[in-house]
Amino acid sequence: MKFSFLVPAGLVLSLAACGDKTPPAGQAEAQEAAAPAQVVLKSGEDVYKQVCLACHASGVAGAPKAGEQGGWAALADEGQAVVTAHGWVGVRGMPPKGGRADLSLEEFARATAWMARSAGVDWQDPDEHMLHEIREEEEKRIEELKKRR
């Protein structure tokens, strides 16, 4: 990967030396490839403050409180993927996506991890692997809920 990037970049330098204004193709491609990772996602703390705090600060309807170990310690045993997916789908007083349809799963998961950390549970912002697990748990949960109806 690195090598294929370095070669065109070197080529561009030598072209530039000859006064050729050809755009640095290799570089442009590399930037395009990197772009999706730079989609500006909100941090867990920002999402919490903008959305989740409304219920999770004071514990509305039994919401596990940010910064308080009790509720989160029990959830920690269930695991990050399961708990995040259940919150995302919605459970009892917890509205799907926290009531914010425009949140991405990754942002929601970050906010969940942030709340857990604030309560002393060691959950990190989700990586690709964790997001995949959350998606799987989400599907399972939806199937489960369908059967109950």
> Does 61 sit near ligand HEC (CB under 6 A)?
yes
Contact pick of 12, 66, 80, 108 for ligand HEC (by CB under 6 A):
108
88 and 37 Cβ atoms separated by less than 8 Å: no
- Dihedral of alpha carbons 140, 76, 59, 104, sign: negative
> Does 62 sit near ligand HEC (CB under 6 A)?
yes
Using left for φ > 0, alpha for ψ between -120 and 50, and beta otherwise, residue 137 falls in alpha
* Element holding 78 (H helix, E strand): helix 69-78
Residues 84 and 68: their CA atoms lie apart, in Å, by: 17
Can you read off the two tokens belonging to residue 89? 């789908």
Smallest gap from Cβ 138 to ligand HEC, in A, equals 12
Length of the chain counted residue by residue = 149
> Does 72 sit near ligand HEC (CB under 6 A)?
no
> Does 126 sit near ligand HEC (CB under 6 A)?
no
> Does 65 sit near ligand HEC (CB under 6 A)?
no
Q: Which is nearer to ligand HEC, 111 or 130 (CB)?
A: 111
Q: Which residues bind ligand HEC (CB under 6 A)?
A: 47, 51-52, 54-56, 60-64, 75, 83-84, 86-87, 91-95, 98-99, 103, 108, 111-112
